[in-house]
Amino acid sequence: MSKYITTPIYYVNGEAHIGHAYTTFIADTMARYEKLKGEDTYFLTGTDEHGQKIEESAQKNSKPTQEFADEISATFKNLWDEFEISYDKFIRTTDESHKKGVQRAFEVMYAKGDIYKDFYEGHYCVSCETFFTETQLVDGEFCPDCGRSTNIVKEESYFFRLSKYENALLKHYEENPDFILPRSRANEVINFVKGGLRDLSVTRTSFTWGVGMPESIKDDKHVMYVWLDALMNYITALGYGTTEENMRYWPASVQFVGKDILRFHAIYWPAFLMSLDLPLPKHIGAHGWWTRDGEKMSKSKGNVISPKQVADVYGTENLRYFMLREVPFGQDGDFSQRAFIDRINSELSNDLGNLLNRIIGMSGKYSDFEIDSVDVLKYHKKEIDAMNVVLDSLDAFMQNFQTHRYLEELWKLFSIGNKAIEEHAPWVKMKDDKKDEALATVALVANILAKASLMLHAIMPNTTNTIADALNFAISHESYNELIVEKKLLKLFNIKPVPPLFPRVEEPLMAEAPLAQPNITKESVKAAEQSLCEDDNLIEIGQFFQTSLKVGTVIKAEEVEKSKKLLKLQVDLGEEKLRQVVAGIREFYSAESLINTQVCVVANLKPAKLMGMVSEGMLLAAKDEDGLCLIRPEKPKKVGTPIG
């Protein structure tokens, strides 16, 4: 059976950020994984170029819209090429074949009676290209998604009979509980549909930068609504309405989207497909947001991290590894350089890199780099069995996009290898004249590394090619079959020494967001000292130490019902029991982004009650007009470490 994997198509109103890179990495990983297994796989990405938002961005940049779209679209394509994203097609919604396909789809839906003409009056958010009802608006005016002002727009419009598909959609969700993954996201979609679907306005007359009406309908005033235009890319890319050449890949096996655009993909898109009599995708995989200091990263907030900058200093494949290992699929993740460096040093450099160095070193010393698997099963049956259990468990994680679990499990292989070396101490065996035993342990580890490289290949393609090269084999569908499916061992070969693959990173390699530096002069220092001495608010050091400040790790975090501000945390301060801390930080941090992060806690405050809940401490935080941020240790510290 063939596989079809898609990313959303990216708006061309700004350059790619870490969030976009994540969607692309996960889709690329899936595509590479399937291709290695030998599946006939098609991987699509591209850019979404129509609509008022793009028109306005072009105007702001004083460029003709098409020229502006060309430029930004190229920045995405170039970045993906630089990152060696293995897409089979990069679609642009300004491609002629796409426009023809969308028009064809419109005709089919119109002919079926699923599209009709009427008037629309509603509150329109230009930024989100979406109409909202009065009750959906915040404070009667603002967009519930992005918070910007909406405008009242009344226009003639064509409507898609979305309401007609309400029951069919609900039935589909029920019969296909894995349609939306992770399953925890399905409820919000189901509730939205159960709340009643209104027909969807699918054309606009208020701007012109869009796909025009099909000739057969002859209504030049209208252009297509961007979401109708954009969603169709997933089939026009396969030739829908034109060549049809790759339609055999439809339906998609998985369509990756961020949680903010899940509704479009899990409601509108399947309804359009039903209207076109096409099957629905197998899965919509909705991932969480990458946040910075707890806030969603977005171009409009200006808090974005450039994936190119990060990749330039830390390496693209390290970045892929970090992003796919750090967050459970579906949850939000905070991008922290510290966490990134820790994973490079402990997981890539120590666990994987050192294991490779060790066997290069040992095989060089003991057997002139020759590796022979002949005695592996004789001395290491236990390890081979354990390795096969891990290898057999991996596919299920990948099929659910749980890349963090997949990698966590995969890393068990390196523990098996390291433990075997410690337990069997080949250097002792060599001294005791048991060379075949010593060489069997080295060969065991070589096999572990070979199989692990195959399974890591989709995430770190070049790094694993280098490892495979050192182990004298090439990563391919054939070697996958031999070493993974048929569970064979490596044939006799000579290992090729390679330089360490993952140099340790001692200090952050990138400056954090630059802070404004005050202008420090001798005079300003003197003035500051003087004003300090005159200040009668000063305290003695002993008074300061009356406050017990400690480092803690957040173990659990949840929202407090009926409160917009409060989160309830369980914090490990190294004491017998976890401390419950109720903190007014919900507007700035999501509960899930706090789990497993460190905080600084005032630990000797009298317990207080907040909304009926006991709070046994207070978090240190700094707040200014830009918002609040938690004060955290710069490097991970043991829980309970005193601060001062």
Positions that interact with ligand MSP (CB under 6 A): 8-11, 19-20, 22-23, 48, 230-231, 233, 257-258, 260-261, 289-290, 296-298
Q: Collapsing DSSP states into helix, strand and coil, what is residue 253?
A: coil
Q: For the CB of residue 186, give the shortest distance to ligand MSP in the complex, in Å.
A: 17
- Residue number of the CB closest to ligand MSP reads 258
Nearer to ligand MSP by C-beta: 57 or 441? 57
Nearer to ligand MSP by C-beta: 282 or 299? 299
Nearer to ligand MSP by C-beta: 261 or 555? 261
Number of neighbours of residue 389 by Cβ within 10 angstroms: 12
SS (H, E, C) 517-551: CCCCCHHHHHHHHHHHHHCCCCCCHHHHCCCCEEE
Q: For the CB of residue 534, give the shortest distance to ligand MSP in the complex, in Å.
A: 47
Q: For the CB of residue 33, give the shortest distance to ligand MSP in the complex, in Å.
A: 20
Distances 638 to 316, 443, 546, 556, 574 between C-alpha atoms, Å: 31, 38, 21, 17, 8
Nearer to ligand MSP by C-beta: 16 or 359? 16
Q: For the CB of residue 261, give the shortest distance to ligand MSP in the complex, in Å.
A: 5
Q: For the CB of residue 32, give the shortest distance to ligand MSP in the complex, in Å.
A: 20
Nearer to ligand MSP by C-beta: 22 or 83? 22
Backbone phi, psi, residue 559, to 5°:
-75, 150
Nearer to ligand MSP by C-beta: 299 or 365? 299
Q: For the CB of residue 575, give the shortest distance to ligand MSP in the complex, in Å.
A: 36
The residue with tokens 């491609």 is: 95
Q: CA-based diameter of the chain, in Å?
A: 90
Nearer to ligand MSP by C-beta: 20 or 380? 20
Nearer to ligand MSP by C-beta: 88 or 260? 260
Q: For the CB of residue 289, give the shortest distance to ligand MSP in the complex, in Å.
A: 4
Q: How is residue 198 written in tokens?
A: 């209104």
Q: Name 121's bridge partners.
A: 154
Task: Please say whether the dihedral angle defined by the alpha carbons of residues 163, 167, 171 and 177, taken in this order, is positive or negative.
Answer: positive
Backbone phi, psi, residue 624, to 5°:
-135, -165
Q: How is residue 425 written in tokens?
A: 């101490």
Task: Please say whether the dihedral angle defined by the alpha carbons of residues 598, 588, 10 and 266, taken in this order, is positive or negative.
Answer: positive
**Euclidean distance between CA atoms 181 and 193, whole angstroms:** 17
With a CB cutoff of 8 Å and minimum separation 6, the contacts of 590 are 291, 294, 332
Q: For the CB of residue 297, give the shortest distance to ligand MSP in the complex, in Å.
A: 4
**Euclidean distance between CA atoms 305 and 308, whole angstroms:** 9
Backbone phi, psi, residue 579, to 5°:
-95, 140
Nearer to ligand MSP by C-beta: 17 or 429? 17
**Euclidean distance between CA atoms 585 and 602, whole angstroms:** 16
Q: For the CB of residue 7, give the shortest distance to ligand MSP in the complex, in Å.
A: 7
